Homo-oligomer: A and B are copies of this chain.
């Protein structure tokens, strides 16, 4: 059993979830007499755009990592299918938690904190289930190319940084929901730049930077 269909199904879910994000940007149709202008609506809508950006980037990065991980997987088994399904469960939830967070962030207060905690909680769930996927593939020797111990340690540290940051953001949301959104945005930016060839240096091929699963 190769990983072709697992990847196709996952790609479909990633693609639908990332595209549905933009549905939530919709501004109410004009028409009523006291209808706010588009410019007013867009400037009031900033939390929607900020949350859209962070969620888009986060789904994009998890797709890049999923792609890189499965590139090195020789065969899959049933537990792997279900661990992947667990991760997709969190991906599918992202459009919902993004809209909810954006809506309540505008109002502020305790409800915005709850929405922010749920938002970062879903990201933490996605991160942890991706780490489980990675752990299962190492543990059961599914990889085409075995990873050197150094690479595994590096991966564990990286997973740790993201997941600890998401969990911390759940707590931060109760002090400042906007700061919690900023934190998940910074995690996304970190994962974009962490993997560039230049910094990968000794761990991979400096030209392509994709010889190893890069979690």
Contact = CB atoms under 8 A, between A and B. Distances in A.
A18 B100 CA distance: 19
Interface string A27-49: 10110000001110010000000
B63 A9 contact: yes
Given A23-B96, A64-B81, A15 B12 contact: yes
The A contact surface, by secondary structure, is helix
Interface in A83-100: 85, 88-89, 92-93, 95-96, 99-100
Given A7-B8, A22-B92, A30-B106, 20 more contacts: A1-B208, A1-B210, A5-B67, A9-B11, A9-B15, A13-B18, A13-B19, A16-B19, A18-B92, A20-B23, A21-B92, A25-B93, A38-B104, A56-B89, A64-B85, A77-B208, A77-B209, A78-B195, A78-B209, A78-B214
